[in-house]
Structure 1
Amino acid sequence: MSSMETAAAFPLRAPPKLVTRITIVHLIEMIFAGILMVFLVLPAIFKFSLVNASFWQIYGRFYVTGLFGTFFYVALTLPLSVVLGFLMGWARVSRVRIFSWPASLYVNVFRGLPPLILVIFASLFGTNLVPQPIIDRFLSGFRRGDIAVGLAAIAIGMHSSAYQAEIFRAGFQSVPKGQLEAAQALGLRPWQGMRHVILPQTFRLSLPPLGNEFAGLIKDTSILAAIAGTDLVAKSRDLLGILPASGFPIFWIFAVWTVVAVTYFVLTYSVTRGLRLLERKFHTPGLEGISL
């Protein structure tokens, strides 16, 4: 077979430099469009400005506190949701019913409940479910309200883990069963075949939908504002609560929520874009991502 026929039969991917250049250009376009929208279009429509020094002098401390609160909740919920989702997804494809049935029940229950309901139940009754010795030993330095908010954040992570379990389940089932049999035929033990053959492909297949789920998890942390959390939405709402009595311009309301919206967009876009680049880096021809 000639080199031209080979190239036609097996098309090559774009060189990494070209992919990187296209990505950078696309990112610059998105940043420019965002700046144009935030600093020109929206202020012209709603008659407010985001470059007002007095506005940031007041809102700055609320914004920084809320942003760190959001980062804390994401750092608490994201690892928990990934670990639980992976274990539940693995259990769902198990042939041992003592593993698959409880995992299916877990997924169906947490997928069937709105995250706001889970947050309310966790904050109201969660502290009663934690054994008192654990509270005395590990949580004695926290107020009961802080513990309740932390448990509510964990509930959000468990809700996300139910969706991630379905993603990982689909990833496991997308890998042909013959590959594990082939690995065992080559002398690998079952756990070695799972580690070196099945799991790498499962994670590659699961990356696209996981990016969307991670972005949704970041946005779901804003629900904690309903129970006096310290996330960005809650702290921004605290500022808006004192605006009428403080004599500040009413257009600050639009400015505050515009900043909140832009911040969440930047966070979610960064996560989805980062995972997309990771997916492109580890992409294997013939191994396409799963769709749910």
Structure 2
Amino acid sequence: MHRQELIHPLDFIYYPILAAFGIPVNLLAIVILSRGKCGLTRCITFYLVSMAVGDLLVIITDVMLYKIVYYYFRSSFFDTTPICRLIVVLYASSQDCSVWLTVAFTFDRFVAICWQQLKTKYCTEKTAAVVITVVCVIFCLKCIPWYFAFGPRYVINNVQWDSILTVTFSNSKAWAAFAWLHRIFTPLLPFGLILLFNVLTVKNILVASKVRSRLRGCNPGENHNDPEIANRKKSIILLFTISGSFILLWTTYVVYFLYVRITNTFYHTSFNDPLFKVQQAGSMLQVLSSCTNTSIYAVTQAKFRKDAVKYPLTLIFKLIKCENN
């Protein structure tokens, strides 16, 4: 959670480009999905909109405030200790909410596909709203202690600047336990849960497909259209692409975290240190996961693609017409 001591020159290029791309695509996803014209249920739409908002907040707090401002605007208002501590809390909260909303969506689709009896009660607009609210409240409250874990790095003219983990935090067993719990909850536990739900979903699909084939009397070489399987196809593709993208982009970060904790290797000496390169790659891929969902919607959802092209053009034509009038 502390600021990086080593800053690779690539960071100065990568993160501004990521912000320039991530903010508009997430805003576009929020607008298009909120219109409700993508052929998705209200329940799924609620989750996707909340995930897009969470991803947008990650880009703002992590990429813009936590990295770009720190790299480009040293000794500015944002570099004072109280603001640094606040940014850490906002960054941690937005990251936790974004990750756990992905877990909530994965579980919702797992229930919809595998537990038909529970589907009608759980996979509803009301339940989605409750789950999203509870997740956001819990993880925002969970991250508040980070504000008190940091102190000023130095003081100039009675003004506290930058932030560093306090001695109390570094030496306290309670704080150490809190730091471990924080990393267990994000990303270790979500990583494991998403993998588990996907494995169980795949297993259920394979079993259900075999059973339905037998009931319909299909021979292995025959090609029969099954309306039930066809109806599930969109949901399954959306689930697997979103959760698969999350797992793929977070794997490097998770492996790095586990290695560092097991070997107690917390410091890097230079840009050529292999562990530093792994850390940089993990951080870049992890943040990139906050920009990929919109691309996934565009690839997997035809109606989203159509509305994503049509809506901005319609808006532009309306603005031009208003100016002409």
With structure 2 as the length reference, what TM-score do the two structures score?
A: 0.26
With structure 1 as the length reference, what TM-score do the two structures score?
A: 0.28
Structure number with bigger Rg: 1
